[in-house]
Amino acid sequence: MIEYIRYTLPNGLRVIHNYDASTVMVAVDVLYNTGARDEDRHMTGIAHLFEHLMFGGSVNVDDFDGELENAGGSNNAWTSSDFTNFFDIVPAQNVETAFHLESDRMLGLAFSDKALEVQRRVVVEEFKQTCLNRPYGDLMHGLRSALYSPRHPYSWPVIGLEPAHIEAVTNDDIRRWFYSHYAPDNAVLAISGNLTYERGRELVEKWFSDIPARGIAPRHLPGPGFPTENKIVEMHGAVPYPMVVIAFPMDGYGTADYRTADCITDILSAGRSTRLYRHVVAGGDGSIVEADASIVGSEHEGFMMMTARPADVASATDGHVEEVLLNELRALTRPGEVSQHELQRTLNRFESTFELSNLDALSKAQNLALAEMHGEDINDTIALQRKISVDDIARVAAKMAGSPYVVLRYLPATQENIG
């Protein structure tokens, strides 16, 4: 049970506070309701670029990292298709520094041409390292573009479609993005650690209450445009071995079927006692060396993916690997196939993982922020997951197995397939 108090400032900032006297630290987390889903196809990657720019100087602070480090703290951030998150961890006696720094960059950035140029170079280099020069680095580009219609922002990864989009971003673009998405009425502030509610509220009101609301426009997304028939895509790159991925459309976050799909991937692949390892890798015919299953959870329609490393290129291209994977998913649709014992083992693992993920102040702050953004009570998480039944597993497995899916075969480049 995580005890917390929540309230909302007049400017729309939602605040959630967890007091934990067992630590000498305080985590301050600011979650903005913006990500790659707010981008235009002709200017992708700007949400991720903006994550970097938020450290490039604000109205009254030139050096965010330096100020926080001087207070004995550390920080980081992440961007997803749906959200952008910034978090700080500081000694309790210096926590006001974190409130000052986060409020100042919520108020406004310096919009420095130099900071933009520096961060553009950093993000372009990151694109090259992670997507162009890393084996399978562009796999999600290929998979997402095959799964979603080109107009949907989930059809490209968070890092963007190409470096040229980032290189073309101007300071005017940055200003528009900031004032369209970064605002107290589009954010959640979560606090966890050795800070009383009374002192925390005093600091929140001191540093955040005078930041004006900006009246964020509602988001209008096109339909995902999932394939209407099965699709096979081949990609080639400098990779050591082939890889095969099958992706199935699934429901968005917060639905019962989303939670069930997550549970299905655990039944399939969470550990060596699960089905993909026992049936496909250890107990298979030798054509598959590794296999996994996971969900790419999104606020809107996402996808479940099953991934396999075939033993050779022939196994990757003749349809055998995807048939083996599909058979494992289809097996779950049969009544009685998944026992109550197997389901309970999976749910117990989920509960254990969830509890462990909330032990430290920083993890609690991030998880509380996400729960608040979703309009959820974090303490309901386990109970909602435990509502899943074996009948739900069969039903949702059948729903995914019966829908059009995408097969992506990523093959080692040869002179023949690159010429």
Residue-level pLDDT at 301: 94
pTM above 0.85, yes or no: yes
The reply to whether 226 falls in a domain is no
Q: What is the mean pLDDT of the chain?
A: 95
221 lies in a domain?
no
In a domain, 252, yes or no: yes
In a domain, 138, yes or no: yes
Tokens of 103: 């409020």
Beta strands 14-19; 187-193: pairing state: parallel
Write down the pLDDT at residue 272: 80
**Strand-strand pairing, 187-193 and 243-250:** unpaired
pLDDT on residue 297: 82
Residue whose tokens read 């909302």:
8
List all residues 6 or more positions away from 100 whose beta carbon is below 8 Å from its beta carbon.
61, 207
Domain end position, chosen among 208, 223, 256: 208
CATH of the domain at 111: 3.30.830.10
| Residue 204 pLDDT | 98
- Rounded Cα gap, residues 85 and 65, in angstroms: 16
Tokens 């039903």 locate to 395
Q: Rounded to the nearest 10 degrees, what angle do helices 320-331 and 390-401 cross at?
A: 150
Give exposure, 389-404, as e/b (b: 16+ Cβ within 10 Å): ebebbbebbebbbeee
- Write phi, then psi, for 106 (nearest 5 degrees): -75, -35
Low-confidence ranges of the chain (pLDDT < 50): none
pLDDT of residue 133: 93
Strands (E), 286-418: 288-296, 302-310, 406-412
Answer yes or no: do 257 and 390 share one domain: yes
Domain final residue pick, 155, 175, 208: 208
Within this chain, do residues 94 and 243 fall inside the same structural domain, yes or no?
no
Task: Please write the tens of the pLDDT for every residue from 319-340.
Answer: 999 999 999 999 999 989 999 9
Query: Sheet containing 231-237: which strands, arranged edge to edge?
Result: 231-237, 406-412, 243-250, 302-310, 288-296
Domain count, the chain: 2
Whether the Cβ atoms of residue 347 and residue 263 lie closer than 8 Å to each other:
yes
DSSP E strands: which ranges in 194-301?
231-237, 243-250, 288-296
Residue 246's nearest CA partner among 288, 277, 292, 280 is 292
Are 71 and 200 within one domain?
A: yes
Q: Are residues 158 and 257 in the same domain?
A: no
Which segments within 238-344 are labelled E, that is strand? 243-250, 288-296, 302-310
Asked whether the beta carbons of 288 and 315 are under 8 A apart, the reply is yes
Give dist(CA 249, CA 305) in Å, integer: 9
Report the pLDDT value the prediction gives residue 416, as an integer from 0 to 100: 59
Domain around 305: 231-418
CA distances, 346 to each of 271, 283, 286, 290 (Å): 10, 21, 27, 21
Residue 53 has a pLDDT of 95
